[in-house]
Amino acid sequence: MEIQKLLIKFKFQILIVSILSISIIVFINLAPRFLDVVKYFWPLLLSTALFLVAVVVFGWISPPVNEVYSEKTGEGILDFVAGQTDEDLQTHLHDLHEGDEGKEEGGESSRVE
């Protein structure tokens, strides 16, 4: 009697495990074999392997970028982006400030305070 009560108590868990087991067995029987997949995709696998070998060989043969150029990483792009010196910026800000003072007399201000 105790076993029947336990079976009834766990009937949903037993049902779920049974369905899962049957679906796994069916999937394994219907799925293609591993060697069939390798036979089908061997050109793709071979070309990928050759590409990875070429990347490793070129990485090993060519020197890193830092050894070719004598500048630190990103220094050139920072100089390009910066473009203006502090004196140029101060002059530009001063000119903008003078232009804002003229607008304030007319009643409008473009500055946010």
The pTM assigned to this predicted structure is 0.36
Helix axes 11-30, 2-9, angle to 10 degrees: 70
Q: Is residue 4 predicted with pLDDT exceeding 50?
A: yes
Instruction: Report the sign of the C-alpha dihedral through residues 28, 30, 31, 35, in that order.
Output: positive
- pLDDT by residue (tens digit) across 18-62? 999 999 999 888 888 888 988 999 999 999 999 999 999 998 898
Q: How confident is the model at residue 95 (pLDDT cuts 50, 70, 90)?
A: confident
Q: What angle do CA 14, 18, 24 make, to 5 degrees?
A: 145
**Which residue type does 104 have?**
E
Q: What angle do CA 88, 92, 94 make, to 5 degrees?
A: 120
Per DSSP, 10 falls in state: T
Q: For 25-61, give the DSSP string.
A: HHHHHHSPPHHHHHHHHHHHHHHHHHHHHHHHHHHHH
Per DSSP, 33 falls in state: P
Q: Is residue 101 predicted with pLDDT exceeding 70?
A: no
